[in-house]
Amino acid sequence: MTTTEITGAEEVAWDLSDLYETAGDPRFEADVKEAEDASAAFRERYYGKVAGLSAAELAEAIAELERIESLITRAGYFAHLEFSTNMADPTRSALVARLTEKGAALETQLLFFGLEIADLEDEAAESFLASPELEKWDHWMRSLRKFRPYLMSEPEEKIFTEKSVSGVSAWDRLYEELLGALRVDIDGDEVAFEEAMSRLYLADRSERLAAAEAVTKALEPGLRTRTFIFNTILLDKSIDDRLRGYPTWLSARNLRNETTDEAVQALIDATTSRYDVVQRYYRLKAGMLGLDKIAYYDRFAPIAEDPTKVSWDEARDIVVEAYTEFSPRSGEIVERFFRDRWIDAPVRDNKRNGAFCATTIPNAHPYVLMNFTGDRRSILTLAHELGHGLHGTLSMPLGLFNADTPLTTAETASVFGEALTFKRLLALEDDPGKRLNLLAGRIEDSIATVFRQISMNRFENAVHTERRSEGELSIERFQELWLENQTRMFDDAVDLEGYGTWWSYISHFTGVPGYVYAYAYGYLFALAIFRKYELEGESMVEPYFELLSTGGSKTPEELAQIVGLDLADPGIWASGIDALAEELDAAEALANEIGIG
């Protein structure tokens, strides 16, 4: 692997012309206008008439609704993708605002349709669903009807939708912009937030400490503002939930994820009951690092010094080969993301932090955003996002409504792709010390995806609950609740001094309340699929492709059945956690073999 500070990703920018050439592309305005005109015509034709339609007429109406929403979704994705690479550009910011407002206006015109479907009497709805004309829309209609007890009248729903533009979505956008503008001063050098966070993976402890202290310092100036925004979003959600009658702060998210409060609680209970795995690992790691106890900034430290950086080309080869070894078909799809410029890779000023894959883009293809820094984590992040890309590519022929997956299964392909790539990385490494490094990194990523996400869910649960019962939370109270839940996970295995404000860079809390547990759900589900693949080999390839190609047109339970798993069995979570514990056993054995720990 190449040792270099230049990753080769500096000029890897995506080409959005498959959506539109520019924001001034005549097709862009034509699509927006067509969506507006078609929405008005749709409302004129179908308002108040859904119950009286024939099955064929209802199928025709749903198809037209999907076409309209696809037009505005395509334009909206373009605006957000443009904005994500330069969030300081006022022109791009204005375009996002305009499309958000347009989308909300169209939603208010069209939301009657879903309300009327949800309001159908059960007998009438089942009669529709029994018809062959509506077979394609069976799951979509049933998903709409699950919200029936919590829906309000059309005028009230209109108010909710229109006010969200100037309310919660505006606050979330501000939060994202504040995070995107963060700069971290390390020894007089201002670096992007992602670059600073990547230094927590360095071998030199003094450099990790300097990076952590610099991040904490960078988070301080805007902390009061971010706290106010979070409080506002917490209050907004509490009002929404109260008016709709949801029993808990998480119930609406669980319905959208196509799962139940009870099933999610079983996942939470299974995970929190095994915090001993986390504590055992970090005690082992302290020994491997020669420390009595590790600090929060040591969690991702390499076991042995390894200054190598991976170039963009090397990362591409590793990831593509990993997917190709599973199946040439998946390798070919992943290769297209590089060849056809569907990835934006470098770290840039004012670029959105982290990584994502925008998947549900009608009549186009997914796009991946990276902040590639050349470390091992970047390789696995690339593999993760390209797993989303594979999933999106395979499910797109289903159309906008049926391709869209709930969060609980949206992570399936991404986690599976990470597992494939990790296996490839391990196979390429002969040095026992570096293999231990890789294995430790794998365990740490698993802890971050399963245990940390559930710990963050417990933090969310605490702040949502307390905001509703006690009122606005102070900066100090957010910090206390954050540290309380982190301490439950780490116990005395990790020193958390200085970590109290780090909750405030996690935008999922404001953008998608309740989101984080889906990582653990999806990870353990994907891990169960991967374990079956390792046991059964080639016979799992086609069922796996079938699962991905089914998109969101079936429930998570039905998707699991395709690959021979039962999500109704709580043992699936325990099984996944046992697999993580087995990796820890392997790390302990390797550490003993090398003579460290």
- pLDDT tens column, 128-151: 999 999 999 999 999 999 999 998
Element (H, E) at 368: strand 367-369
pLDDT tens figures, 257-315: 998 888 899 899 999 999 999 999 999 999 999 999 999 999 999 887 666 689 999 99
Note the pLDDT of residue 174: 92
The CATH number assigned to the domain with range 16-166 reads 1.20.140.70
Q: CA of 76: how far to CAs of 73, 95, 96, in Å?
A: 5, 9, 7
Average pLDDT of the segment spanning 454-476 = 97
Q: Give SS3 for 117.
A: helix
Average pLDDT of the segment spanning 464-469 = 97
The answer to whether residue 36 scores a pLDDT higher than 60 is yes
Domain spans in the chain, listed from the N-terminal domain onward = 16-166, 222-308+406-597
Note the pLDDT of residue 4: 39
The radius of gyration computed from the CA coordinates of the chain, to the nearest angstrom, equals 24
Q: What contacts 373, CB < 8 A, 6 or more positions away?
A: 7, 194, 195, 198, 347
Which residue is listed with tokens 């904490």?
Answer: 216
Note the pLDDT of residue 457: 97
The answer to whether residue 321 scores a pLDDT higher than 50 is yes
166 pLDDT tier (thresholds 50, 70, 90)? confident
pLDDT tens figures, 337-372: 999 999 999 999 899 988 999 998 888 999 999 999
The answer to whether residue 593 scores a pLDDT higher than 90 is no
6 pLDDT tier (thresholds 50, 70, 90)? confident
Q: What mean pLDDT is reported for the chain?
A: 93
Element (H, E) at 356: strand 356-358
Contacts of residues 260-263 at CB distance under 8 Å and 24 or more positions apart, as own/partner, are: 263/567
pLDDT tens figures, 40-74: 999 999 999 999 999 999 999 999 999 999 999 99
235 pLDDT tier (thresholds 50, 70, 90)? very high
The answer to whether residue 319 scores a pLDDT higher than 90 is yes
Nearest to 215 by CA among 181, 174, 177, 185: 185
Contact predicate 83/92, CB 8 Å: yes
**CA dist., res. 505 & res. 533, Å (int):** 36
Contact predicate 85/352, CB 8 Å: yes
Note the pLDDT of residue 2: 39
Note the pLDDT of residue 163: 84
**CA dist., res. 299 & res. 204, Å (int):** 13
Note the pLDDT of residue 196: 92
The structural architecture, per CATH, of the domain 222-308+406-597 is Orthogonal Bundle (1.10)
Tell me the range of 383-387, 554-558, 576-580 where mean pLDDT is highest.
383-387
Percent of the chain clearing pLDDT 70 (strictly above): 98
Amino acid at 488: R
pLDDT tens figures, 79-136: 999 999 999 999 999 999 999 999 989 999 999 999 999 999 999 999 999 999 999 9
| Residues facing 495 on adjacent strands | 295
Least confident stretch, 167-176, 222-231, 319-328, 501-510: 167-176
Q: CA of 372: how far to CAs of 182, 315, 349, 478, in Å?
A: 18, 10, 13, 31
Least confident stretch, 15-24, 224-233, 517-526, 536-545: 517-526
Helix residue ranges, H only, 494-569: 508-511, 517-536, 541-549, 556-562
Which residue is listed with tokens 């998480």?
Answer: 250
Q: What contacts 254, CB < 8 A, 6 or more positions away?
A: 260, 261, 263, 264, 514
Note the pLDDT of residue 307: 62
Contact predicate 343/320, CB 8 Å: no
Note the pLDDT of residue 167: 84
